[in-house]
Amino acid sequence: MNLNDQATQTAFGELVGASQQAVSKHVKSGTLELGETYATWLKKYCAKIRDEAAGRGGSEQESLARAKIDEAGVKTALGRLEYNKKLGELVLASEVEIALNDWAGYSNREYKSGSEKLIQKIEGEHRIVIDREMVTEIVGATAERIQSYAEKLGEAIGEGS
């Protein structure tokens, strides 16, 4: 075989140890052009292989590199989650939602109980009667707003999980 002859896919495949189908892929991709010599194909083929080995292999290499980076990022994130779980620092959104709603209910009862105790103390010390409806209107509405906010916050956290 003379390297200055016009290359054929089958003969070039035999020269470089590849199948005719593999050489055909290089022709279809534009790496090798029909009508060129074996010498030209050999130079282009070697350059392509060097680029691939160096990580400059085009879109397939880029996709593979991106996939490996993404996979590494996922593994790192999962590792952090597992680490935080072991440390006891990982809290599930559903648990946070329940805790917020429980806290809001408890706070609501405490505000109402505290305001009743305050009314009783003021009435006892000053010998007056305080209109409980007025107090309930203000304190009750405040406690309800706090509970409603906590419930919405808990739902939003639950939806984010």
How confident is the model over 83-134, as pLDDT tens digits? 877 887 777 777 888 888 888 888 888 888 999 999 999 999 999 999 989 9
Query: pLDDT band at 144, cuts 50/70/90?
Result: confident
Is residue 121 situated within a structural domain?
yes
Is residue 2 situated within a structural domain?
no
Q: Check whether residue 83 and residue 117 sit in a common domain.
A: no
pTM over 0.75: no
Most confident of 13-27, 69-83, 92-106: 13-27
pLDDT over threshold 80, residue 56: no
Which one, of 30, 13, 33, lies nearest residue 21 by Cα? 13
DSSP letters for 20-78: HHHHHHHHHHTSS-TT-BHHHHHHHHHHHHHHHHTT---HHHHHHHHHHHHHHHHHHHH
Which one, of 15, 5, 14, lies nearest residue 35 by Cα? 5
Is residue 1 situated within a structural domain?
no
Contacts from 13-18 at CB under 8 Å and sequence distance 24+?
A: 15/42, 16/42, 16/45
Number of domains in the chain: 3
Q: Check whether residue 126 and residue 136 sit in a common domain.
A: yes
Question: Chain-wide mean pLDDT for the chain?
Answer: 84
Domain that holds residue 69: 59-90
Which one, of 138, 134, 139, lies nearest residue 112 by Cα? 139
Is residue 64 situated within a structural domain?
yes
Q: Check whether residue 105 and residue 140 sit in a common domain.
A: yes
Is residue 3 situated within a structural domain?
no
**136 vs 44: CA distance, rounded Å:** 87
Q: Check whether residue 99 and residue 86 sit in a common domain.
A: no
